[in-house]
Amino acid sequence: MHLATTEAIRHAALGQSVTQAVSCFFRDDKKRSKLTPTQNLGLWKSTVLPHFLQNLRYIQSTTDIAKLQTSLNLSLARALHVYGDHTALLADTGVPPLNLIQYTHLAQLHFRLTKTQSDTLPATLFKTFNKSLALNNLHPSTLDYHIQNSLHQLHIDPLVDALPHMITLPHECRERAYLKLLRTTISSLWRMDLLNQAPLRLPHSNCRKASYIYIARDDLQRRDLLKPAQYLRSNLDQLPLLLLRTQATSYIPSHLHLANDHTYTPYDQRCCPSCLPIQIVGNEPHTLLHCPHSAPLSHPAILSLTRALGRYDLCSWSSHTPLGQTAILLGSSPPKHCQSQTVTLACLTALASRASCRRSMFLARLRFCVHYCIDRDAV
């Protein structure tokens, strides 16, 4: 299926050009406002993403899947103009990895062949050839093997009807309900895979992915990870927060993976230039809370959040850990105490964080540039 992979990437590139044309039209038209990241994301999901998913169930090579995933990551980054960590960008925008989506498509095909359309010729052939064959007896190049493997990965028993209470309903209703069930399943698998990359027993982040997961841990607890994070579902322009959370800025030292001579800098050596000669990693908690040069810029947002937390009778600002405070500053929802308060507080968090982050990013960039110029002249 190498040709299918190539064609999918080619058609996705054509869809990418359409999204860019629409985005440029709204940006240049003075009578209309430019598209927000949420609108750009919705446009990308409707015009580009379907090309990556159209024949995904028939692609068997892991190399082709990896090639499609790389192309998808770059396409999404171009659509949102966010060139940071791909894991963080996919998690915040609600776009799961292609291997999980492939499992979903194959499980849907199995449900259709065995439950909703079991009297068709393809269903009869599938039942005949797979009646007594286990997974280890199937050849890895066959579609039957990939169907059985997807059920195994999703922990689905092929002999049990997942929706026995809906057996009398029309086929379309049962398939839609099964798809919702699968969304919950792959959300759980995706969440488990992300959280395992940064377990709580290792509190010190030593890479970009771990740093993002520590900050977005509460956001990753939402039931449906295929929906964007809460701060992206507001009516505000949350591009500054998205840039910070995906580490696509040049204002926080830990986001700079290349030194001035364009050589790679390990994460634990990306020190804060404002605190030299003290060797402190310039990550998000240090820059927003502890750095004597940049931390005061976060005080207006912290004051607004402190008032909001008290207004809704939630945990006070001082009761959160520095990592939890950093997560709230960057748009994450605080730990849930009351379901009715979560959405309102998340909106207040996004509102308070947006103005502060824009100001912080501008001033931090200015100070970083001034510091860089001084060091260069000194050398």
Nearest CA to 294 out of 310, 283, 305, 304 is that of: 283
Question: Is residue 247, in this structure, part of any structural domain at all?
Answer: no
Q: How confident is the model at residue 369 (pLDDT cuts 50, 70, 90)?
A: very low
Quick one: pLDDT at residue 204? 58
Q: Decide which of 73 and 26 is more confident.
A: 73
Lowest mean pLDDT, pick from 187-191, 253-257, 274-278, 360-364: 360-364
Nearest CA to 154 out of 126, 123, 179, 136 is that of: 179
Strand (E) positions, 4-75? none
Q: Going by C-beta distance under 8 Å and a sequence separation of 6 or more, which residues neighbour residue 327?
A: 214, 215, 216, 217, 218
User: Is the domain of 266 the same as that of 363?
Assistant: yes
Question: Is residue 88, in this structure, part of any structural domain at all?
Answer: no
User: Is the domain of 362 the same as that of 326?
Assistant: yes
Q: What is the dihedral sign for C-alpha 236, 237, 241, 246?
A: positive
User: Is the domain of 269 the same as that of 329?
Assistant: yes
The answer to whether 331 touches 238, Cβ cutoff 8 Å, is: yes
Lowest mean pLDDT, pick from 143-157, 224-238, 344-358, 365-379: 365-379
Q: Give the position of tokens 């990241």.
A: 37
Quick one: pLDDT at residue 343? 46
User: Is the domain of 374 the same as that of 278?
Assistant: yes
Question: Is residue 199, in this structure, part of any structural domain at all?
Answer: no
Question: Taking the CB of residue 184, how many other CB atoms lie within 10 A of it?
Answer: 12
User: Is the domain of 284 the same as that of 368?
Assistant: yes
Question: Is residue 309, in this structure, part of any structural domain at all?
Answer: yes
Nearest CA to 242 out of 78, 83, 19 is that of: 83
Token duo for residue 91: 């998690």
The angle, 0 to 180 degrees and rounded to 10, between the axes of the packed helices 37-47 and 62-80 is 140
- Please provide the average confidence, as pLDDT, over all residues in the chain: 81
**Domain endpoint, select from 192, 209, 243:** 192
**Could you tell me if residue 313 is left (phi over 0), alpha (psi between -120 and 50 degrees) or otherwise beta?**
left
Quick one: pLDDT at residue 37? 85
The answer to whether 175 touches 286, Cβ cutoff 8 Å, is: no
User: Is the domain of 70 the same as that of 149?
Assistant: no
Q: How confident is the model at residue 200 (pLDDT cuts 50, 70, 90)?
A: low
Distance CA 36, CA 238 (A): 8
Give the pLDDT mean for 315-339: 77
| pLDDT beyond 70 at 161 | yes
| pLDDT beyond 50 at 363 | no
User: In the chain, what percentage of residues exceed pLDDT 90?
Assistant: 25
* Alpha-helical segments (H) within 112-166: 121-129, 143-153
User: What is the residue type of 276?
Assistant: L
User: Is the domain of 130 the same as that of 173?
Assistant: yes
Distances (CA, A) of 45 to 50, 173, 176, 228: 7, 24, 19, 12
Q: Between the ranges 27-36, 87-96, 166-175, where is the mean pLDDT highest?
A: 87-96
| pLDDT beyond 80 at 210 | yes
User: Is the domain of 296 the same as that of 340?
Assistant: yes
Give the pLDDT mean for 278-301: 87
User: Cis omega (within 30 of 0) on the bond before 240?
Assistant: no
Give the pLDDT mean for 359-367: 48
Question: Is residue 251, in this structure, part of any structural domain at all?
Answer: no
Q: Decide which of 344 and 159 is more confident.
A: 159
Q: Between the ranges 94-98, 245-249, 269-273, where is the mean pLDDT highest?
A: 94-98
Distance CA 132, CA 145 (A): 13
The angle formed by the CA atoms of residues 305, 310 and 314, to the nearest 5 degrees, is 95
| pLDDT beyond 80 at 244 | yes
Q: How confident is the model at residue 240 (pLDDT cuts 50, 70, 90)?
A: confident
- Summarize pLDDT for 339-362 with one digit per residue, the tens: 445 445 555 555 455 545 554 554
| pLDDT beyond 50 at 62 | yes
Distance CA 269, CA 273 (A): 11
Distance CA 256, CA 160 (A): 51
The angle, 0 to 180 degrees and rounded to 10, between the axes of the packed helices 2-28 and 62-80 is 0
Quick one: pLDDT at residue 133? 62
Q: Residue 306 sits in which domain range?
A: 259-378
Domain count, the chain: 3
Q: Give the position of tokens 């937390």.
A: 309
